[in-house]
């Protein structure tokens, strides 16, 4: 069991017909906890029913809630989710919300110091308050995992480069990889060349790129590992990348072979994409059967 701290947004994903609890770092935390890790979530909620329900969910998931702050002057996070005919999502992220105002405390500093890994994304840095807290916590972390999770207009080229330079592990999707490669003046066209270019530019030895239904590529200690994806019927893609990342982190921290780790993570991401919502319950036996159906 690994001790891991996740930082950033906790919120309600509001779909046309229903709402679900989400937020990329919370989705990652949920999958990490479901896989048997000891997870702390650093975030903030507002007062009122939606905040209480969110906090209850975090507790019921087994995630340590001691670093969830309650702000009476800001509302709990909310995102309007729109799905196209293929199940791919776009987002209207309300601002400002409680998770934009995460304060630095002795409790969350200790959580990061005591953890084997610290997971954060770019969206949580859209506001000065949470961004300043994040920068200070990164300085205390043993192993820093950066999930880009780009949501226009809530990031800048300068912010992404600064966070990448602080990270030990960077996770992109394929569109994000090429966008960032352009920021760094890459002249390469292939995915592998751009991954190696970013690794060199940011001094990062561990980089993973997800490719939707085509699987993922992992650069780990100068070697590439591949998974070509799994054939599924997509219901919605919300949270699939987050569960992928949580699964990959869990496997790698437990010293699983990187090839087995990326195969496992792609399977979990696919299983989430063929389910409704970001955090379906997945039994380990079902994941193993999905990977090896015969």
At 284-294, the pLDDT tens digits run 888 988 888 87
Q: Given this model, what pLDDT does residue 191 score?
A: 97
Q: Given this model, what pLDDT does residue 282 score?
A: 84
* 101's tokens: 């105002």
Find out whether 116 and 2 touch, Cβ atoms under 8 Å. Answer: yes
User: CA–CA separation, 248 vs 28, rounded Å?
Assistant: 10
User: CA–CA separation, 26 vs 164, rounded Å?
Assistant: 21
What is the per-residue pLDDT across 31-84, written as a single tens digit (0 to 9) for each? 999 999 999 999 999 999 999 999 999 999 999 999 999 999 999 999 988 778
User: CA–CA separation, 122 vs 164, rounded Å?
Assistant: 10
What is the per-residue pLDDT across 4-29, written as a single tens digit (0 to 9) for each? 999 999 999 888 888 889 999 999 99
269, pLDDT greater than 70: yes
Pick the range with the lowest mean pLDDT from 41-50, 75-84, 108-117, 246-255: 75-84
Report in angstroms the alpha-carbon separations of 63 from 52, 56, 214: 15, 10, 31
At residue 158, what are phi and psi to the nearest 5 degrees? -65, -40
Q: Given this model, what pLDDT does residue 278 score?
A: 65
Which residue has better confidence, 14 or 139?
A: 139
Nearest by Cα to 177 from 211, 129, 203: 211
Angle at 213 between CA 210 and CA 218, to 5 degrees: 25
DSSP state of 279: -
- In terms of CATH architecture, what is 3-291? 3-Layer(aba) Sandwich (3.40)
* 57's tokens: 């969910």
The rounded mean pLDDT for the chain is 94
1, pLDDT greater than 90: no
115 SS3 class: coil
Find out whether 173 and 195 touch, Cβ atoms under 8 Å. Answer: no
Stretch 168-173: mean pLDDT: 98
Nearest by Cα to 286 from 274, 276, 271, 275: 271
Q: Given this model, what pLDDT does residue 83 score?
A: 75
277, pLDDT greater than 70: no
192 SS3 class: helix
User: CA–CA separation, 257 vs 247, rounded Å?
Assistant: 13
Pick the range with the lowest mean pLDDT from 17-21, 183-187, 201-205: 17-21
Q: Given this model, what pLDDT does residue 260 score?
A: 97
33 SS3 class: helix
89, pLDDT greater than 90: no
Q: Given this model, what pLDDT does residue 184 score?
A: 97
198, pLDDT greater than 90: yes
Nearest by Cα to 55 from 16, 114, 99: 99
201, pLDDT greater than 80: yes
């Amino acid at each position: 069991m690994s001790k891991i701290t996740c930082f950033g947004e906790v919120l309600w994903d509001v779909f046309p017909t229903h709402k679900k609890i989400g937020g990329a770092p919370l989705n990652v935390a949920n999958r990490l906890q479901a896989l048997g890790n000891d997870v702390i979530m650093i975030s903030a909620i507002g007062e009122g029913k939606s905040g209480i329900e969110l906090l209850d969910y975090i507790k019921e998931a087994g995630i340590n809630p001691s670093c969830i702050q309650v702000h009476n002057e800001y509302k709990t996070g909310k995102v309007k989710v729109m799905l196209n005919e293929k199940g791919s999502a776009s987002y209207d992220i309300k601002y400002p919300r409680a998770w934009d105002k995460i304060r630095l405390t002795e409790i969350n500093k200790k959580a990061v110091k005591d953890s084997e890994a610290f997971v954060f994304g770019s969206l949580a840095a859209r506001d000065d308050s949470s961004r300043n807290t994040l920068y200070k916590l990164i300085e205390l972390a043993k192993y820093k995992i950066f999930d880009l999770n780009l949501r226009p207009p809530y990031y800048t080229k300068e912010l992404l480069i600064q966070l990448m330079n602080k990270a030990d592990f960077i996770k992109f999707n394929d569109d994000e990889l090429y966008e960032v490669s352009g920021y760094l003046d890459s002249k390469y066209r292939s995915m592998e060349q751009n991954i190696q270019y970013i690794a060199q530019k940011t001094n990062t030895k561990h980089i993973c790129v997800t490719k939707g239904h085509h699987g993922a590529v992992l650069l780990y200690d100068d070697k590439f590992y591949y998974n070509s994806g799994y054939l599924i019927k997509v219901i919605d893609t919300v949270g699939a990348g987050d569960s992928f990342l949580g699964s990959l982190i869990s496997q790698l921290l437990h010293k699983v072979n990187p090839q087995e780790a990326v195969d496992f993570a792609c399977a979990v991401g696919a299983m989430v994409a063929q389910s409704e919502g970001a955090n379906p319950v997945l039994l380990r036996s079902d994941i193993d059967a999905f990977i090896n159906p015969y």
